Amino acid sequence: MATFREVCQAGPVVLLDAAAAQVQVGLIEPSGEARWSAPPGESGVAVFQALEELGVKPSKVLGWIYCEGPGSILGIRTVAMALRSWTLLHPAPVHRYLSLAVLAHALGQSAAGIIADARRETWHHLRAGEPLRRLPTRDLQPPLYLPATFRTWSALPAGVQSTPYEWPRLLPKVWDADLLRPAPEPDAFLHEDPSYVTWTPRIHQAPAKGA
């Protein structure tokens, strides 16, 4: 684990977060000062617009930080694929963080659960000091906080409160928090590895006469 302060010492470092409905990109200096861009639109376009607005050339970046989830899977995987391409051509260290862990630390309420929609009436759930889990709605216990700009498909749990997910406000609160992990192969967070069913191919045959 590493802190934002430690990772940004080699700075400037670029932070990419596509977990919410609006992409957030930051150019962070070793001092903790940062410039931010959050253009509207689809993540595959917005990420590049933000880099252009900040004057960032991927070939010159000394380090990357990105959100691995939970959040918009399409946005997170778009960022992960871009990072794989950029760092293959121009190697630079990459670190990852969990969106809900950042919010849990920023809120500073150890008893609060931070949630994000996991579809099919289940929720990603994280409480400070505990691992990220996936829980059905019936198992969620208040107090609960939901990032304001995260998309939802399921009915909201009773008593859930909205909380901002805005990096200009979050960074000063998590600057010295051990929330970053190395990500040599950037990808989206998964609760468990995908499993596949073995299928044995068979030659199609016409049904027997009289069957």
Tens of pLDDT, residue by residue, the chain (211 residues): 999 999 999 889 999 999 999 999 999 999 999 999 999 999 999 999 999 999 999 999 999 999 999 999 999 999 999 999 999 999 999 999 999 999 999 998 778 999 999 999 999 999 988 999 999 999 999 999 999 999 999 999 999 999 999 999 999 999 999 999 999 999 998 765 444 345 556 665 666 666 5
Looking at residue 33, what is its pLDDT?
A: 97
> Which residues sit opposite 116 in a β-bridge?
124
Looking at residue 173, what is its pLDDT?
A: 97
Closest CA relative to residue 76, chosen from 34, 124, 30, 143: 124
Looking at residue 209, what is its pLDDT?
A: 65
Provide the terminal-to-terminal Cα distance of the chain, rounded to the nearest Å.
65
> To 5 degrees, how large is the angle CA 8–CA 79–CA 148?
85
Global confidence as pTM: 0.89
- The DSSP 8-state label assigned to residue 208 in this structure reads P
Q: Is the dihedral angle over the CA atoms 114, 148, 169, 80 positive or is it negative?
A: positive
CA dihedral 188, 146, 175, 21 (to 10 degrees): 50
Query: Which domains does the chain possess?
Result: 4-182 (3.30.420.40)
Looking at residue 195, what is its pLDDT?
A: 42
Looking at residue 197, what is its pLDDT?
A: 45
Beta strands per DSSP E along 73-160: 94-98, 113-117, 122-127, 133-136, 144-147
Looking at residue 63, what is its pLDDT?
A: 97
3-state helix, strand, coil in the chain (%, to 5): 30, 25, 50
Looking at residue 133, what is its pLDDT?
A: 95
CA dihedral 76, 26, 100, 84 (to 10 degrees): 30
d(CA 90, CA 88): 6
- Burial status of residue 207 (CB atoms within 10 A of its CB: 0-12, 13-18, 19 or more): exposed
